[in-house]
Amino acid sequence: MGQQIFKGNIIFAPTPEELKICAKSYIVVKNGMVEGIYERLPEEYGEEPVKDYGERLILPGFVDLHVHASQFDQRGLGLDRGLIDWLNDYTFSTESRFSDPAYAWEAYSIFADELIRQGTVRTCIFATIHKESTGLLFEILQEKGIGAFVGKVNMDRNCPDFLKEKTEISIKETEELIAQYGRHPLVKPILTPRFAPTSSEELLKAIGELAKKYNLPVQSHLSENPSEVKWVRELFPSHPTYSDVYLDFGLFGHAPALMAHGIYLTDRELELIKANDVMLVHCPESNINLVSGIMPVRKWLHHGIRVGLGSDVGASHTLAMSKAIVRAIQLSKLMKVFDPHAKPLTKPLTTAEAFYMATKGGGSFFGKVGSFEKGYSFDAIIVEDDPRITGRLSLEEQFQRFLYTGDARNIIARFVEGRQVG
């Protein structure tokens, strides 16, 4: 692809503590990777064409570490119900429709377009149990050009019969998808047991073996609400904690692992998660819609645990990671309200910290992604706003305004490894 030069107001978070703002600066990209940021373009690039975005903001594209592609259509529906009715009335019946590849092709195409429109350029996705439609999702994302880990869901117990797999077929089809889609540079397979309660011990064991055999990452759910935690203790009585189940069957430790939610964790689990470099995914909107609770993010960060952000559509009603950032900040403020004496462990997240989680923090699951430091993939979104308003605001305020009041209409271009994808 060679060399590209972009100009604009560049903002990114190289650390959770720092929002780096480079006003009217040049960013040089070589073969899709950032070479450097310059206030004045060095002479060696003097003759090169520059894509000048003027007053617009150049931000790292968003990373959504947890989303159910099949649930996109049910956003916002039935949220007065409790979790179990919501699963039965909406989630499971929606997922069953993905046995039809034609339906899956249409639904996944709409999902992918909306994901990109919202500025998400890297994502970790739960598909459904269905091999053929999951294959279509790989192909759609390859064609759209964004980065993704895509997981065929494995589930062989404690679910409706129409979504229950035979253990050996679940594993066989998972391996077939790995064989078919395992070599693409941007869209890759990830092992995806739904969660411990819908997995037999045989299934978990076999998935752990696949992780080792193919050196594949793993994603699942962990400790989303208290009754789920209790259920896991009943289903796996010989395991001291929920996390021990995943550890014991080889899902922690062999390969990178991503666990959605992680709200109710014991000290032992925090140690296991840290020792095995498991990344937790905070999904604030989902956690309030489903009455799950609030992840004590500050406390987990204090323990040295890596935390990224996820939309968790459909339990959340929006794919916009800007909204996940705002909601993460808001929930961290509520932690302080409810436990004002636990300072500094309830200090609210700053905007920079939450933005870091949705860019470089989550991006680390993909490699050098989510920042504009040298060597990082040029994954970016270009943001514009009404110049009559932004003219009165500092660049940091324009950035805050986009996160809080902006939406997909403010994003005028999206890039992955230097290639424009929307």
Phi, psi of 399 (to 5 degrees): -65, -45
**Residue whose CB is less far from a second copy, 281 or 403:** 403
Sequence-ordered list of residues with C-beta below 8 angstroms from that of 381, at least 6 positions apart, any chain: 58, 59, 60, 61, 62, 119, 121, 411, 413, 414, 415
How many residues bind a second copy (CB under 8 A)? The answer is 37
Minimum distance, C-beta of residue 224 to a second copy, in the bound complex (Å): 12
Tell me the C-alpha distance between 328 and 348, whole Å. 9
- For a second copy, which residue of 33, 36, 38, 73 counts as binding (CB under 8 A)? 73
* Helices 167-181 & 131-144 angle (0-180, nearest 10): 20
- For a second copy, which residue of 50, 334, 375, 420 counts as binding (CB under 8 A)? 334
- For a second copy, which residue of 288, 295, 380, 416 counts as binding (CB under 8 A)? 288
Does 103 interact with a second copy (rule: CB under 8 A)? no
- 3-state SS of the chain? CCEEEEEEEEEEEEECCEEEEEEEEEEEEECCEEEEEECCCCHHHCCCCCEEEEEEEEEECEEEEEEEHHHHHHCCCCCCCCHHHHHHHHHHHHHHHHHCHHHHHHHHHHHHHHHHHCCEEEEEEECCCCHHHHHHHHHHHHHHCCEEEEECEECCCCCCHHHCCCHHHHHHHHHHHHHHHCCCCCEEECEEECCHHHCCHHHHHHHHHHHHHHCCCEEEEECCCHHHHHHHHHHCCCCCCHHHHHHHCCCCCCCCEEEEECCCCCHHHHHHHHHCCCEEEECHHHHHHCCCCCCCHHHHHHCCCEEEECCCECCECCCCHHHHHHHHHHHHHHHHHHCCCCCCCCCCCCHHHHHHHHHHHHHCCCCCCCCCCCCCECCEEEECCCHHHHCCCCHHHHHHHHHHHCCHHHEEEEEECCEECC
Does 128 interact with a second copy (rule: CB under 8 A)? no
Does 51 interact with a second copy (rule: CB under 8 A)? no
Does 57 interact with a second copy (rule: CB under 8 A)? no
Minimum distance, C-beta of residue 109 to a second copy, in the bound complex (Å): 13
Name the one range near a second copy by CB under 8 A: 150-158, 290-298, 358-366, 374-382. Answer: 290-298
- For a second copy, which residue of 21, 33, 41, 77 counts as binding (CB under 8 A)? 77
Minimum distance, C-beta of residue 400 to a second copy, in the bound complex (Å): 5
Name the one range near a second copy by CB under 8 A: 62-70, 269-277, 394-402, 413-421. Answer: 394-402
Does 120 interact with a second copy (rule: CB under 8 A)? no
**Residue whose CB is less far from a second copy, 120 or 289:** 289
Does 395 interact with a second copy (rule: CB under 8 A)? no
- For a second copy, which residue of 164, 233, 274, 401 counts as binding (CB under 8 A)? 401
Does 294 interact with a second copy (rule: CB under 8 A)? yes
Phi, psi of 188 (to 5 degrees): -130, 155
Name the one range near a second copy by CB under 8 A: 121-129, 205-213, 359-367, 388-396. Answer: 388-396
Place of tokens 């504009």: 372
Does 336 interact with a second copy (rule: CB under 8 A)? yes
Does 345 interact with a second copy (rule: CB under 8 A)? no
- For a second copy, which residue of 5, 79, 229, 421 counts as binding (CB under 8 A)? 79
**Residue whose CB is less far from a second copy, 219 or 318:** 318
Sequence-ordered list of residues with C-beta below 8 angstroms from that of 219, at least 6 positions apart, any chain: 66, 124, 126, 149, 151, 190, 191, 192, 257, 258, 259, 260
Minimum distance, C-beta of residue 334 to a second copy, in the bound complex (Å): 6
- For a second copy, which residue of 212, 213, 230, 333 counts as binding (CB under 8 A)? 333
Does 364 interact with a second copy (rule: CB under 8 A)? no
**Residue whose CB is less far from a second copy, 74 or 154:** 74
**Residue whose CB is less far from a second copy, 19 or 245:** 19
- For a second copy, which residue of 291, 343, 387, 420 counts as binding (CB under 8 A)? 291
**Residue whose CB is less far from a second copy, 106 or 277:** 106
**Residue whose CB is less far from a second copy, 219 or 292:** 292
- For a second copy, which residue of 23, 50, 393, 412 counts as binding (CB under 8 A)? 393
Binding site for a second copy (CB under 8 A): 73, 75-80, 288-289, 291-294, 317-318, 326, 329-331, 333-334, 336-338, 348, 350-351, 389, 392-393, 397, 400-401, 403-405, 407
